[in-house]
Amino acid sequence: MKKIINAPEDFVDEFVEGILLAHPDLVRTPGDDLRVMVRADAPLAGKVGIVTGGGSGHLPLFKGYVGAGLCSGVAIGNVFSSPSSDQILQATKAVDGGAGVLYLYGNYGGDVFNFDLACDLAELEGIPTATVLGRDDVASQPRERKHDRRGVAGILFAYKAAGAAAERGDSLEQVVAVTEDVVEHTATIGIGLAPTIMPTTGKPSFELPDGEMEIGIGIHGEPGSRRGPLETADEIADHLTSALVDDLGLGEGSRVAVLVNGLGATPLEELYVLYRRTHRFLADRGIEIVKKYVGEYATSLEMAGASISLLELDDARLELLEAPARSPFFREG
């Protein structure tokens, strides 16, 4: 597959530099390391900082959600690889406003290891930290093992909640509580149609025969719950949405936010076809859709496919979602 890149080993630094040059009013690097980016006005005195991070290849995930009402900083790894503990510590120190720092990222082994190490290093610097893991992928583990689930596109809702709570001046303990509450009420499931091609090797991240789809695929190409012949858009939407409704225990009178997310190579038109059926599926069951998001929010380079996320809403969660936020890839409020 053809790609618009220079040297593969320079890919990450060059796209990060592009973000910094395109959005200097929103983000900056606090030092010489392009793998650390913070909001332009960081640190905010007396407010909780929020640091995220993870592998590259998922824009706008991680890097794209640094800004007002969202994350304060990000540590950036190579494609599908964790950032280092030193980069996470740099971001932590750059966003620390004296109220502590929340680590908010997806539940993946390498990220957990390096963020935990950064937590120990931050403690030596006198910076209190706490951790909340995005773990919304219902296909990765059953409900009784939900704390072991992968974090995927639904972490957007956690970013909004944490960012809004920090902006209004909540303590670190309070920010953790509202973010955990949103994570607990979020569920996501995706479908893969074609793999991504790794820029460093030029090889696909997984193999999927023509005419087949994989339900529950992860954003790195991790195996899903099943493979089978490609279904219609309505059949796909019904299967995905039904799994989310069952997992969250939703019923008549429930309120939700819906996120229909493209994985990188799916046309926006197809995402709206999925949203159309998802909307009708929920409405037929008396489930009210209060917030709607359709587009690319967490990708896997040029993987073909999509995911659907639901967040069960109450008044407190809705208030957090509706708070103003602005970053290079998010405009709302």
Q: How far does Cα 299 stand from its chain's mean position?
A: 9
Cα distance between residue 222 and residue 216, in whole Å? 9
The number of helix segments (H) and strand segments (E) in the chain equals 8, 14
Can you read off the two tokens belonging to residue 93? 């120190």
Q: Is 23 a catalytic residue?
A: no
| Set 23, 58, 185, 279: catalytic member | 58
Q: Is 185 a catalytic residue?
A: no
Residue 67 · residue 39 · CB < 8 Å: yes
Q: Among 2, 152, 16, which residue's Cα sits nearest to residue 78?
A: 16
Cα distance between residue 261 and residue 301, in whole Å? 13
- ∠ CA 221-148-207, nearest 5°, is 15
| Set 23, 147, 185, 220: catalytic member | 220
Cα distance between residue 59 and residue 138, in whole Å? 22
Q: Would you give the DSSP letter of residue 251? A: -
DSSP 271-292: HHHHHHHHHHHHHHTT-EEEEE
- Residue written as token pair 């099943």: 226
Three-state DSSP class for residue 63: helix
- Residue written as token pair 């995706």: 190
Residue 20 · residue 29 · CB < 8 Å: yes
Catalytic (active-site) positions: 58, 220
